[in-house]
């Protein structure tokens, strides 16, 4: 057993920034995760990210059964925040190999109470799929783009939609993809103006950014 570790939640965070704290599970000892699930998950909505399937399998059965676990996204929660109807995010991925990041973003949005639609496998190798769904994608207030390899989808979609585009590079790809570094650099040098770029594989961060945008839209109220 590791030494006793203090666990301190930032309970005032929603009042400051409109977003609750989440638990990043990667690197945490199983005993710490058990304590977090027992102490906090039953009292308030809490999102657990980067909870690998093999680590989740080590949890006691009653804790496994107490949460909604999604192995592809590696996320878990027992409850979500109240639904915010009319505020929608499109999550568009280049390929199904990007699913672990795509669904981390989608599940975070679900947890935060925002409507979302997932458009998987809409990369530049099949532009007709993207073109056929563009009007539907534009019906959302924010668009998250998830892409690995050369990440060209971010530039393409950034030049087609007027909505805020939040681009997430993934670590998917052979050799010179360099674990997502090529995708990251491609997004950073995109000629599509106003593209916001996030860290490699950070679907959670992009979803939180989308939530900030939607919270601002909501605070402004309906136009006269």
For 90-140, write each residue's pLDDT tens digit: 999 988 999 999 999 999 999 999 999 999 988 888 888 888 889 999 999
Q: Give the tokens for residue 143.
A: 């668009």
Does the pLDDT of residue 1 top 50, yes or no?
no
Residue 41 is predicted with a pLDDT of: 63
d(CA 29, CA 82): 31
* Residue ranges of domains in the chain: 13-77, 84-220
Choose the weakest-confidence range: 19-23, 32-36, 83-87, 181-185. Answer: 19-23
Confidence band of 224 (pLDDT split at 50, 70, 90) = very low
Does the pLDDT of residue 18 top 90, yes or no?
no
d(CA 8, CA 10): 7
pTM: 0.88
Q: Which residues contact 52 (CB under 8 A, 6 or more apart)?
A: 25, 26, 74
Cα 42–chain centre separation: 23
Confidence band of 66 (pLDDT split at 50, 70, 90) = confident
Choose the weakest-confidence range: 33-47, 155-169, 176-190. Answer: 33-47
Residue 215 is predicted with a pLDDT of: 86
Average pLDDT of the chain?
87
* DSSP code per residue over 179-223: GGHHHHHHHHT-SSTT-EE--TT-HHHHHHHHHHHHHHHHHH---
Stated as kind and residue range, the H or E segment containing 91 is: strand 84-93
Instruction: Decide which of 3.20.20.70, 3.50.50.60, 3.30.470.10, 3.40.50.1970 is the CATH code for 84-220.
Output: 3.40.50.1970
Residue 108 is predicted with a pLDDT of: 96
Residue 123 is predicted with a pLDDT of: 80
| Mean local confidence (pLDDT), 75-100 | 90
Confidence band of 3 (pLDDT split at 50, 70, 90) = very low
| Mean local confidence (pLDDT), 181-200 | 94
Residue 199 is predicted with a pLDDT of: 96
d(CA 170, CA 134): 22
């Amino acid at each position: 057993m590791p030494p006793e570790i203090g666990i301190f939640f930032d309970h005032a965070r929603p009042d400051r920034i409109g977003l609750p704290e989440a638990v990043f599970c990667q690197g945490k000892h199983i005993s710490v995760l058990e304590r977090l699930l027992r102490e906090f998950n039953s009292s308030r909505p809490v999102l657990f990210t980067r909870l690998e399937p093999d680590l989740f399998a080590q949890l006691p059965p009653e804790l496994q059964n107490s949460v909604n676990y999604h192995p592809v996204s590696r996320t878990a929660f027992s409850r979500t925040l109240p639904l915010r109807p009319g505020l929608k995010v499109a999550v568009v991925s280049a390929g199904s190999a990007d699913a672990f990041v795509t669904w981390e973003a989608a599940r975070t949005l679900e947890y935060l109470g925002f409507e979302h639609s997932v458009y998987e496998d809409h990369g530049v190798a099949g532009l007709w799929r993207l073109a056929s769904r563009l009007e539907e994608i534009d019906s959302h207030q924010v668009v998250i783009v998830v892409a690995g390899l050369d990440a060209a989808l971010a530039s393409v979609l950034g030049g087609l939609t007027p909505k805020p585009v939040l681009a997430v590079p993934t670590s998917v790809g052979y050799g010179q993809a360099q674990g997502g570094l090529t995708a990251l650099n491609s997004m950073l040098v995109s000629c599509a103006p106003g593209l916001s770029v996030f860290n490699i594989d950070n679907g959670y961060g992009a979803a939180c950014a989308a939530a900030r945008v939607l919270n601002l839209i909501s605070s402004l109220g309906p136009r006269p």
